[in-house]
Structure 1
Amino acid sequence: MGLGPDAETPRPATRQEMHDAKLPLAYRDSCAHLLIPLNQCRYETYFLPWKCQDERHSYEKCQYVEFKKRVAKMDELRAAKDGARSN
């Protein structure tokens, strides 16, 4: 996995990387670049729950941030829809 253009944020996983990692289609989202190393860590440590805490925390935080973005976008769409009705 390489870094994005600003060398701080990781770039999203490519379709080929997700395919090679055998990620299910439901998990191929903007956080897949964090899920791939998490799954590798889980596999290498025999899925012991206390072994991959850093990777798991990073992935779950990414999922939470994406959820908040979707909620904000939905609220924005609802506000625009209600604003259109009031005219």
Structure 2
Amino acid sequence: MAAPFKREMQVTSEEMSEAQVPLNLRDYCAHYFIPLMKCRKENYYLPWKCKKEKHSWEECQFQDYLDRVRQKRSQQKSDKA
């Protein structure tokens, strides 16, 4: 079984405010979203310019989702017992 995703905030709420991260994206992957938005703004939102940053952010989002699914399943198993 894969190791659980490390759910720890890497940036503070002040840093997210300064970077103008939308409220719905202020999660455990915000530290990947900030460089992605910076890259996009510097490159006029050209989709092929920020592939590495986008991939990192999407991978973080996916791992966070998988971790939440694992937590839910383990919670359901313990509720049945």
TM-score range, shorter chain: 0.7 to 0.9
Q: How many residues align?
A: 73
Tell me the TM-score normalised to structure 2 length.
0.87
Unaligned runs of 5+ in 1: 1-10
- Identity of aligned pairs, percent? 42
What CA distance in whole angstroms lies between the structure 2 residues aligned with 1:25 and 1:76? 29
Unaligned runs of 5+ in 2: 1-8
Q: TM-score, normalised by structure 1?
A: 0.81
**Alpha-carbon deviations, 1:15-36, whole Å to 9, x = none?**
1100001111110011000100
Over aligned residues, Cα RMSD in angstroms?
0.9
Bigger-Rg structure (1/2):
1
List structure 1 segments (4+ residues) > 6 angstroms apart after TM superposition. Answer: none
> Which structure has the higher relative contact order (CA within 8 Å, separation 6+)?
2
